Structure 1
Amino acid sequence: MLQPQILIFPMFVGLLWTTNVSYVYAKEVKICDDDVEYPPYTYYERINNKVSKKIIGITNDTLTVVFEALNLNYHIDHIPWKRCLFEVAKFNKRKRYEMFSTGSYTLERAEKYYVTSPFSEIYPAVFYSNAHFTADINVDNIEILQKFDSVCGVLGYFYKEYGLTRESDFIRVPTIIAGFKMLESNRCQIMPLAIQVGYGLKLIEKHNVPETIRAARIKVIKSETLHFFISKKSPRAFELYTKINHELLRLKYEGVLDEIHAKYETLYTQ
């Protein structure tokens, strides 16, 4: 009479284990990102100078190779940034998005989300027009930036890491492209901006970026890293975190991430 009970118990445990594995490893991962284009990381593909509905970029390519290696399906939506962060933080109640992508590390975010290893670095720089500077700008220290008479700054952007904190330091412009136009017309001398972001605009605004615009990297300012973020409210949060981390480290070691970055660098430096 005891033998049937011994057989039933393992079958029951096996059923529970199979169900759990099915949820943790097979359920599609829903991801969100900003709905504002951020080339070369996320932007809509242009076909014959027309905007398509297909999102491409470094972030998309990285997610593709990571999830293919994990044999997991994912779906990404581009929604307003603040809403995206809120949805991921409240995943246990909202049940919409478990992850968000293309974000920089902060201590506040690390409390709410598991933060993966970086998949990219953004290098601080200043942009200028070589039509008005006969020699390349060299920034050995950030104090040099305070000696320029006019600095363009994008509305809503902060430049604390550049040592520029007073609003009176800036001529505010609505967009990066508007700032480039100001540099070209000598209405401001420099504009602080990450190299990849400034040059990446050529991928979506090729005909609007002046040919005279150049960038000087500021090596005394620490580069900013970009990561994927996983909601701590997800029941499989730590599983996703460790597996995605493992793949990012492997892809970095094997040079795959460098190849992805080089692909887009080639496009915007042509």
Structure 2
Amino acid sequence: MRRLLLALCHCLAIAAASAQPPAPSVVHICDDGEEWPPFTYYRRVDGKPTTEITGYSVEVIGAILGKHGIPFTITLPPWKRCLASIEAGENYVMALSASKNPEREQRFLFSAPYYQTHYYVFYAKDRFPQGLKLDSQADLNQYRLGGIKGYAYSNLATVDKDRMVRAASYPELVKMMKAGRLDVFAEDYEVMAGLSSIGALDIIGDPSIGRAPLPGANANPFHMIFSRKNPSGEQLRQLVDQELEAMRRSGQLARLLAKYVKR
């Protein structure tokens, strides 16, 4: 009888344990290893990067997943590796910042846009002391235009992106321009200002680099992207879109953005 009671208690304990809801899976998130301040970057202490990843996008996804008790990790591998992992449905299920184009829409699921950037043209003042004469973004085709490997430049619709001189990082892009290997580059002003503000690369404060808004370029919307192959991808996209809309209506998105992007 005693053995029977012990066996019954054991079965009840197993049944009770199995009745508990399973712990939520950890959501593994990646973003650009080159950093994308003020949206995703390593926090600086005394000008040196720490291991803590912060920024507007980090706070937004933290608020969304935290509200639902969903644990998550964020790491910053090389951008191409991040995208490849999400597309394959492997370790990473989502990324925090991506612009949209038809090719990417076939590879990934997209959230609603939750911030936007604005293209500026940057150039070396010693080669263009009078500045650039641009009436439209198509005028960039007369210059050797630089860019970052793996970036879509979706809003540069009339630019021949196949002729872009691609660099591995922003510091390399600036070095190539100063060395005369390219003439100009068009990048998001908010990110260039973000790099300057955290002391990673002072493009905005560099007296040898000129800049001007790019004519004919609309604001560049950014989205979170999700895996089409990972079963969690679509569920996460729906959750994020639902919460982004709530944060937009309440003004929370605008308050967070104002914390990181100074106008």
Q: Structure 2 length as normaliser, TM-score? A: 0.71
Structure 1, unpaired ranges of 5+: 1-14
SS in 2 for 1:251: helix
Question: Does structure 1 conserve the Cα–Cα contact (< 8 Å) formed by 2:98 and 2:224?
Answer: yes
Aligned to 1:260: 256
Q: Which residue type is aligned with residue 201 of structure 1? A: L
Aligned to 1:201: 195
1:108-119 equivalences under 5 Å are 108-119=103-114
Aligned-residue offset at 1:259: 2.1
Question: Does structure 1 conserve the Cα–Cα contact (< 8 Å) formed by 2:147 and 2:186?
Answer: no
Aligned partners of 2:166, 2:83: CA distance in 1, in Å?
27
Q: 1:245 to 1:35 in 2, by over 3 A?
A: same
Q: 1:208 to 1:181 in 2, by over 3 A?
A: farther
Aligned to 1:85: 83
Alignment pair present for 1:226 and 2:206: no
Aligned partners of 1:110, 1:162: CA distance in 2, in Å?
16
Aligned counterpart for 2:93 among listed residues 84, 94, 98: 98
Aligned-residue offset at 1:47: 0.5
Q: 1:129 to 1:36 in 2, by over 3 A?
A: closer
Question: Does structure 2 conserve the Cα–Cα contact (< 8 Å) formed by 1:162 and 1:192?
Answer: no
Further displaced range: 194-203 or 173-182: 173-182
Question: Does structure 2 conserve the Cα–Cα contact (< 8 Å) formed by 1:138 and 1:216?
Answer: no
Aligned-residue offset at 1:232: 2.6
Percent identity of the aligned residues?
24
Query: Greater helix share, 1 or 2?
Result: 1
Instruction: Say what the alpha-carbon RMSD is for the aligned residues.
Output: 3.7
Aligned to 1:58: 56
Q: 1:217 to 1:33 in 2, by over 3 A?
A: same
Question: Does structure 2 conserve the Cα–Cα contact (< 8 Å) formed by 1:159 and 1:165?
Answer: no
Q: Which residue type is aligned with residue 109 of structure 1? A: R
Aligned-residue offset at 1:40: 1.8
SS in 2 for 1:242: helix
Aligned partners of 1:245, 1:215: CA distance in 2, in Å?
35
Q: 1:128 to 1:236 in 2, by over 3 A?
A: closer
Aligned partners of 1:113, 1:172: CA distance in 2, in Å?
23
Aligned to 1:9: none
1:1-270 equivalences under 5 Å are 22=22, 26-91=24-89, 94=90, 96-128=91-123, 139-145=134-140, 153-154=146-147, 156=149, 161=156, 163-165=158-160, 176-177=170-171, 190-205=184-199, 208-209=202-203, 210-212=205-207, 213=209, 215-218=211-214, 220-266=216-262
Q: Which residue type is aligned with residue 242 of structure 2? A: H
Aligned partners of 2:38, 2:44: CA distance in 1, in Å?
13
Aligned to 1:10: none
Aligned partners of 2:174, 2:85: CA distance in 1, in Å?
35
Q: 1:143 to 1:250 in 2, by over 3 A?
A: same
Q: 1:48 to 1:193 in 2, by over 3 A?
A: same
Aligned-residue offset at 1:52: 0.8
Question: Does structure 2 conserve the Cα–Cα contact (< 8 Å) formed by 1:34 and 1:78?
Answer: yes
Aligned partners of 1:249, 1:262: CA distance in 2, in Å?
17
Aligned to 1:11: none
SS in 2 for 1:193: strand
Aligned partners of 1:109, 1:143: CA distance in 2, in Å?
23
Residues 154-193 of structure 1 deviation map (CA, whole Å, 9 limit, x = unaligned): 464777827443888x887775446657888999875322
* Count of residue pairs the alignment pairs up: 242
Aligned to 1:4: none
SS in 2 for 1:36: coil
Aligned-residue offset at 1:120: 1.6
